[in-house]
Structure 1
């Protein structure tokens, strides 16, 4: 991400069980919009990346993950499962 001052990258999130790629771009965009409204630029990009990664793990074109689900990824839960 270029924020006008510096170029930043997030850490890689390794997705080992991709179920469906449809909707992942939308999940990233939605996560970025949410993130920019609630966090600084870098944290927003991390949130978007986690939302996109989590969307890869279930079927359908709509990201059904909650903010809590995405935040769990950011906190280190990389099991690839929705916590319901």
Structure 2
């Protein structure tokens, strides 16, 4: 596996870990294909998750790039990977 592929996997794992810590019920896996609002997140939670990911990866999203409660965990991962790759 290439270094870039390894980096993407690490980013994915860390972002999903952050989301699971905030959204999943203890002992239950995070469903990465449903909007995070179905997991109990509201717009404030989405903003807080955006700020936590920004801090973790030392990146910054513009206001129109912030996560929304209608996004799935995989959409959030894709957004972070794209931002880190810039």
Higher helix share: 2
Question: TM-score w.r.t. structure 1 length?
Answer: 0.36
Q: Relative contact order (alpha carbons < 8 A, sep ≥ 6): 1 or 2 greater?
A: 2
Question: TM-score w.r.t. structure 2 length?
Answer: 0.35
